Amino acid sequence: MLVGVPTEIKNRETRVALTAQGARELVDAGHDVVVQAGAGAGSMIPDDDYLAAGARIGTVDEAWGAELVLKVKEPVPEEYGRLGNQTLFTFLHLAANRPLADALVAAGTTALSYDTVQLENGSLPLLAPMSAVAGRLAALAGGYHLLSSHGGPGILMGGIAGVPRAATVVIGAGVAGTNAVELLSAMGAEVTVLDLSEPRLRQIEARGLPGVTTVLSTPEALDRVVVEADLVVGAVLVPGHQAPKVVSHSQVARMRAGSVLVDIAIDQGGCFEDSHATTHDDPVYIVERSVFYCVANMPGAVGATATAALTHVTLPYVLALAGGVDAALAADAALAAGLNVTGGRVVHPVMIEAFPDLA
């Protein structure tokens, strides 16, 4: 099969869907790989590395014209015209993106999303590494924007002898939330983590992380800790669905001046009432007296790390798809769960619920 890897064009998206080593494995399996010129530059992978792996360097038309197209982020409107009857494998976050759903259906694309590939135990193996990266970046971005030079109140995350540490809150104890908790704890902050799942909270509690308190999430508990926080990280995920809104405008209005809110769930529509997607070029905006950081492709800030981590988990599925899409879907229920659109209609249960007229 011909596998194409276009350059990502979303703002400051430095990731690429395939490393040179991944390309080599596809070539060794008998497939042809075409990588758009410069696609790996943001991840420090020069074209020569792909050539050495047996891939060829081509144009954007050649990469998009492949039978199987690998991307990192969802197609943006400028790319809708390139959609056709190819198979597309990428992060779609489709439930929060009606225009993209319309475009995929109209084009007859077979579209699989990394974020809905789901194992029997409910875990999301292709989302997990990017969630881990985003969780750690949320802690870094939060600490950065707490600095007075970047609009914050001038609070050092770990404080110093005789001075309190930053009060931080993480909503959601999944992969992203847990990674945010780990780094916030390591930075010396006081961390309160909330989740609806007592077993998840027990797992965090058992690790004995310094400064971490676990709280079973209720509206009253969430309200109490959010309005007193210097930093709130929203890491709420309902697989495939739009994220629920867990922090209201009225709560933000009661927060401290200069407090920071980082919304990791922004790809799924955001988990704060006031969230809207931002870019790495213009990452923050002010609501009431608080700073909102809602960058929709946070891992793009660490392309070299994120690309390697993503290819590591996606490559077995890519190899299976390259061997025949129908056979791969029939053989692997987890991969089949990744199918969002095919035959001119949405087919994933969550997408049918979101867009019943497209089913």
> Which residues form the catalytic set?
93, 267
CA distances from 31 to 6, 34, 50, 87, 164 (A): 17, 10, 14, 15, 58
Strand order in the sheet with 190-195: 212-216, 190-195, 167-171, 231-234, 260-263, 290-293, 284-287
CA neighbor of 189 nearest in space, from 260, 133, 241: 260
Residue with tokens 């996606």: 314
What's the alpha-carbon Rg for the chain, to the nearest Å? 21
Amino acid identity for residue 337 in this structure: A
299 phi/psi in degrees, rounded to 5: -65, -15
Quote the CA–CA distance of 235 and 247 in Å, as a whole number: 12
Quote the CA–CA distance of 281 and 211 in Å, as a whole number: 33
Q: Cα 203 to the chain's mean position, in Å?
A: 23
CB 282 within 8 A of CB 246: no
CB 285 within 8 A of CB 261: no
262 phi/psi in degrees, rounded to 5: -115, 120
CB atoms within 10 A of CB 254: 14
CB 48 within 8 A of CB 23: no
CB 130 within 8 A of CB 299: yes
Instruction: Tell me the two tokens of residue 249.
Output: 């405008």
